[in-house]
Amino acid sequence: MIKKLLLALGLLCVAALAHAAQDIRFWHAMSGPLGAQLDKLVARFNASQKEYRVVPVFQGTYDEVLASALAARKKGNAPDIVQVYEVGTADMIHSGAARPLWQVMQESGQSLEAKYVPAVSAYFSDSKGRLLALPFNTATPVLYYNRDAFRKAKLDPSKPPKTWYEMPKTLGALIEAGQSCGLTTAWPSWVLLENMSAWHNQEFATHDNGMDGGSARLSFNTRLMVRWISMLSSWQKSGYFTYAGRENQAEARFASGECAILTSSSASYSELRKGAKFDFGVAQLPYYDDFQGAPQNTLIGGAGLWIMSGRPAAEYKGVARFLAYLSKPDVQAEWHQQTGYVPITTAAYELTRKQGYYKTNPGQEIAVRQLLLKNPTKESKGIRLVEFRRIRGIIDEEMETVWGGTKTPLEALNSAVKRGNLVLDKVAKAGPR
C-alpha cells in the first residue's frame, strides 16, 4: 500500500514538472507608473496561457540594464529579453549579444506580419528590412506651447509657429508680454541635431547614418546645422531661447509656466498634463520651409526589446509568443494610451482613432502623424553608431560652448564631429567586443 502511494505521489510530481510553466526572464528599466503598466501587460499574457511565465525584473537605468545584461551573458546567465535604449542599438549588434528577432520568430512559428510604423521599425531593422528587435517604448519630439501665454501676448492659441522663420515674431511677442523665457528644449542632441537633420532629410553620419553597417563617420556639420545653431545662438543672446540642460530639465521650466514653448519627447505629454496649471497645446515641430524635402519625418527615441543569445530553444519559443502578444493591436493601443509612447503598428494607431482617444487627447496624435508623414529615407530611418551615448555627450558639451559664448556655431559643430569621429575610430580599431 505504501509503495503504491509513493508511486502515485511520484507520478504526480513528474506530471506537475511536465506542466510547469517555462520561465522567461525579462530585464527592463521601467519603474513607477510605467513599470506598473508593464507589469499589467505581462500579467495578462501570463494569464492567457499556461506554457510560459514571463518574469519582469527592474534592473535600474538603461545604462545599468545594458551593462548587467552583457555581464550576465559572459557568465552564461543572461536574461531572455532585455530592454535597450535606442542609442544602444549599434552596441547590441556590435557585441553579438543578441539574436535577430525575425529569426527567432521564424524558428518558433510566430508571425511578424503586423504593419509597423515605418519610421519606428526602420530604427530596429537590418538592411533587408527585417526586425532585429521589437520596438517597444518609443516617442518622437514635438512642440509644446502655453496657450494661456499666447492669449496674454495677443497671439492666436490655435496657430503655433509652423516654420522656424515664424518663431522669432512669436517669441518676441511672448517676451514683450512679460514671459521670462520664450523657447527651451529638452534632450538637445536628440531634438536639436539628430531630429532636425532627419526632419530636413539631411545626413547626420555617412553610411546611411550608420544604418548600412559600414564604418560611419559623423557629418552633421552641414549648412543646415550651421544656420540652425547660429539662429538659436542669436535667440539666446536676445533672450528668446533658454538652455536648460542636457536631459529633460526644460520640461519643469515649461510646466512651471516659466518657458512658453518647449521642444521635447511626445512621451512627456501625460506628465506635463498633470504638472502644468495652464492650458497648453501640442504641435508639429517647425521646419525651414525653404529646405527642399522638408518636412520629412522625425526620428524615434526610447527603447526596443532584444532577445539575448545563448538561451535554450524552449525559452525562445516563449519569447516569440510573448513578443507576438505585445505586437497585437489591442495591446499596443492600450500601451500607447496609458503611457504616451507611440503605437508601433498602424493597426494600433487606427484602433486608437476608432476608440475616440484622439478627440480628447489630440496632442497624442501629432507624434504619430510626424512619423507617418513620409516614408523614411536613408537620412531619416535612424542613427546607428557604436558608443552613441558618448557621442551625444560630446555634442552636448560642444553646444554648451556656443551657449556660453566661447565658440562659434561652426567651430563647435566641427569640433563635435572631429571628437566624435575619434571615438568611432577607436571602436573600429578595437573590433567586435
Structural domains for the chain: 17-139+300-364 (3.40.190.10), 141-298+386-430 (3.40.190.10)
Q: How many whole angstroms separate alpha carbon 180 and alpha carbon 248? A: 19
Where residue 209 falls (left for φ over 0; alpha for ψ -120 to 50; beta otherwise) is left
Task: From first to last of the 433 residues of the chain, give the pLDDT tens digit.
Answer: 454 444 444 444 444 444 589 999 999 999 999 999 999 999 999 999 999 999 999 999 999 999 999 999 999 999 999 999 999 999 999 889 999 999 999 999 988 767 999 999 999 999 899 999 999 999 999 999 999 999 999 999 999 999 999 999 999 999 999 999 999 999 999 999 999 999 999 999 999 999 998 789 999 999 999 999 999 999 999 999 999 999 999 999 999 999 999 999 999 998 999 999 999 999 999 999 999 989 999 999 999 999 999 999 999 999 999 999 999 999 999 999 999 999 999 999 999 999 999 999 998 999 999 999 999 999 999 999 999 999 999 999 999 999 999 999 999 999 999 999 999 999 877 766 5
Q: How many CB atoms lie within 10 A of CB 278?
A: 13
Q: How many whole angstroms separate alpha carbon 193 and alpha carbon 382? A: 13
Of 99, 87, 46, 146, the closest CA to residue 299 belongs to 87
Of 262, 234, 235, the closest CA to residue 249 belongs to 262
Cis peptide bond N-terminal to 100, omega within 30: no
Q: How many whole angstroms separate alpha carbon 366 and alpha carbon 343? A: 12
pTM: 0.92
Q: How many whole angstroms separate alpha carbon 408 and alpha carbon 403? A: 9
Q: How many whole angstroms separate alpha carbon 126 and alpha carbon 122? A: 8
